[in-house]
Amino acid sequence: MNGKIICGYRILGILGKGGQGTVYLAEHEVLHRKYALKYAYGAEREQLKQEADIMKELTDRRIPFLVDQIEEDNVSVLVMEYVEGVSLKEYLQNNVPLEEDEALELLHQITEIVAYLHQQKGIVAHRDLKPANFVMAKDGSLHLLDFGTALTGMESLHCRDLCGTPGYAAPEQMCGARSGTEADVYALGAVYAYLLTGIDPALPPFHPPVPEECTEKVSKESRRLLRKTLDPAPEMRLQDATCLLREIETVQKRKKHLPARMESMAYQTVLITDVILATVLVGLRYRERPLEYAEWVCGGITILLFFWYLLRSILGPGERFVITREWNVTYTAKEKWGL
Amino acid sequence: MLHECGGRSVNQDSITLQRMVTRKGTVSLALLCDGMGGMDRGEIASGYVAERIGIWFYDVLPKVLKGGYRAGAVSKALQRCLFRIHEDLREYGEERGMRCGTTFTLLLIVEKRWQLFHLGDSAAYRLGRCAKRITYPHTGKGGLVHCIGIGRYHKPQERRGRWNNTGSFLLTSDGLQHYLKEQDLYHALNRERIGNRAQAEKALQGLAKAAVRRGESDNMSAVYLRCGK
């Protein structure tokens, strides 16, 4: 198809292939500007029309603008702005796991774009958020692509079709139940888990890493954020990206909290110091008393701390059996997930 | 690892390698499935098995291993999963009026012990002082008799052993067996020759080229695993 001219656009190459058509890089014959052209044939044409309807309403610079929509006898074409840059997937392959601050900043940028969609009059749910659908432009800004599975309007937000990428798609999407903005929140949570752990949810076993798989450097706030976004029950999740954005900003502000490992070390230091102090004071009891009742206070604190630990170990979540996942390589010519 | 199309347009073989670090040690899995060329859409069957086994490895196996390693429990859990995969593939094939099958060779290493499950005409070799095939082919006069996804479910062949620092394993699809003998495999992959991953990959590529030179046109896939440094 390279070199072929369609409706005044010369095809330069393939940018990507997906379930909703093929995207080509093309150059306008007169303007000599590059555009992304999405082609659809047969039943996919209706879907492309729906995509165009959504895209024409979106005016944010982080979403490629729709230039033209061409309808011919057997093919529909969308002409869109071409965003030159690196896909976030490629960028992350060499850089994950990220430091928590960096991951939060990146998640904030991504969530801002999604929040813009969720704040639209008709509420737009993207429903296929994943690193491969974000492009990092040369100036470092992120752009969201591929609105092939996006839906708008309150009724269509609860459409019951199977869509999304396994691992990033919410459980309700994968089983064909109703899915809306909460599914986007789940996907954002999966992206954040990927950023923090380096474990790609799109690989077997096709679900995002749980907060316990994060390293001990990750703060409690971030773990809590992961729990709020990755809850399997959509009604228990944060309901849209605007809520998530607020949560991220709160975490960024509060993140003076000690990382989990430092917190545990602080507990241990207090306990050991306390035990040593109590022993020394008990030893000194009959010779000299530096402080009256000090040994009772130390002993009391030791007992309290002991019981606190005991209670936490009984009531708290059990130790996770799997510490990390390694390798995770699959070579297959099969294209789609499942049968 | 080797994953070559050979003389075909589509590689119907699928390979998956998984490893997890648990509180009780490292657990590794290598799986090679050869989607059958004679059957329609062999890559769907082999890819589906690789996918499902990947999920089983992370979702089911940790629960089995939590109380300690018991080969029997692992075997039962895997067979339950395999049976479900077999039924899914069979139904999928029947609905579309096509045959969708694959061979199955899985090596599971839990700390210092290994367990092998095998069904079909792929093969597993143990490389020590020589290369020894440790699986038998499930073939008859008309070709393959047992596989995943076609016909009645058959229990896979199972072998167990201890993983010592002197041996290594090789899983291959039938593409590497037709024209290569055990001596060829041993000569290319013995421990003295292989020092690192790059050398192993080069040796496997060399074997694939040798097979092609001798007339092989099938897909060729292999996984070489060795313990220790």
Domains and CATH numbers, chain B: 2-226 (3.60.40.10)
Smallest CA–CA distance, residue B157 to chain A, in Å, is 23
State the pLDDT confidence band at A135, using cuts at 50, 70 and 90: very high
Place of tokens 């432009």: A137
Asked if A118 and A239 count as a contact pair (C-beta separation under 8 A), the reply is: no
Q: Is B88 on the interface with A (CB under 8 A)?
A: yes
A329/B15 CB distance under 8 A: yes
Q: Which residues of B touch A331 (CB under 8 A)?
A: 1, 3, 13-16, 221
Smallest CA–CA distance, residue B127 to chain A, in Å, is 23
Q: Is B54 on the interface with A (CB under 8 A)?
A: yes
User: Which of A60, A73, A101, A128 does the annotation list as catalytic?
Assistant: A128
Asked if A64 and A36 count as a contact pair (C-beta separation under 8 A), the reply is: yes
Asked if B156 and B79 count as a contact pair (C-beta separation under 8 A), the reply is: yes
Query: Is pLDDT at A108 greater than 80 in this prediction?
Result: yes
Q: Is A318 on the interface with B (CB under 8 A)?
A: no
In whole angstroms, give the CA distance from residue A187 to residue A190.
5
Token readout for A30 is: 């007169």
A204/B44 CB distance under 8 A: no
Q: Which ipTM was obtained for this model?
A: 0.83
State the pLDDT confidence band at A310, using cuts at 50, 70 and 90: confident
Q: Given this model, what pLDDT does residue B104 score?
A: 92
Entry field: residues in chain B: 229
**Active-site residue, A128 included:** yes
Asked if B175 and B5 count as a contact pair (C-beta separation under 8 A), the reply is: no
Say which residues have a Cβ less than 8 Å from residue A36's Cβ, sequence separation at least 6.
A15, A23, A24, A25, A26, A64, A79, A80, A81, A82, A83
Is the C-alpha dihedral spanning B147, B174, B122, B132 positive or negative?
A: positive
Q: What angle do CA B61, A338, B39 make, to 5 degrees?
A: 105
Asked if A323 and B36 count as a contact pair (C-beta separation under 8 A), the reply is: no
Which chain A residue has its CA at the smallest distance from B222's CA?
A331
Q: Which residues of B touch A330 (CB under 8 A)?
A: 14-17, 50-51, 54
| Range with the poorest average pLDDT among A205-219, A305-319, B158-172, B179-193 | A305-319
Q: Which residues of A touch B62 (CB under 8 A)?
A: 321-322
Q: Given this model, what pLDDT does residue B82 score?
A: 94
For an interface test with A, which of B46, B51, B225 has the most A Cβ atoms less than 10 Å from its Cβ?
B51
Q: Given this model, what pLDDT does residue A97 score?
A: 86
Beta bridge partners of B30: B17, B107
Q: What pLDDT, in 10s, does the model give residues A253-264? A: 876 555 555 666
Comparing B164 with A127, the larger pLDDT belongs to A127
Comparing A317 with A308, the larger pLDDT belongs to A308
Q: What pLDDT, in 10s, does the model give residues A36-73? A: 998 888 877 888 888 888 888 888 889 998 988 888 88
Please list the ranges in chain B whose pLDDT falls under 70. 7, 37-40, 228-229
Q: What is the largest CA-CA distance in chain B?
A: 51
For an interface test with A, which of B3, B16, B85, B86 has the most A Cβ atoms less than 10 Å from its Cβ?
B16
In whole angstroms, give the CA distance from residue B105 to residue B117.
6
Comparing B55 with A152, the larger pLDDT belongs to B55
Say which residues have a Cβ less than 8 Å from residue B100's Cβ, sequence separation at least 6.
B39, B40, B41, B42, B44, B45, B89, B90, B92, B93, B149, B150
For an interface test with B, which of A165, A327, A334, A337 has the most B Cβ atoms less than 10 Å from its Cβ?
A334
- Tell me the Ramachandran region of residue A338: left when phi exceeds 0, alpha when psi lies from -120 to 50, beta otherwise: left
B92/A319 CB distance under 8 A: no
Smallest CA–CA distance, residue B139 to chain A, in Å, is 24
B44/A319 CB distance under 8 A: no
Query: Is pLDDT at A285 greater than 70 in this prediction?
Result: no
Q: Is B44 exposed, middle or buried (0-12, 13-18, 19+ CB in 10 A)?
A: buried
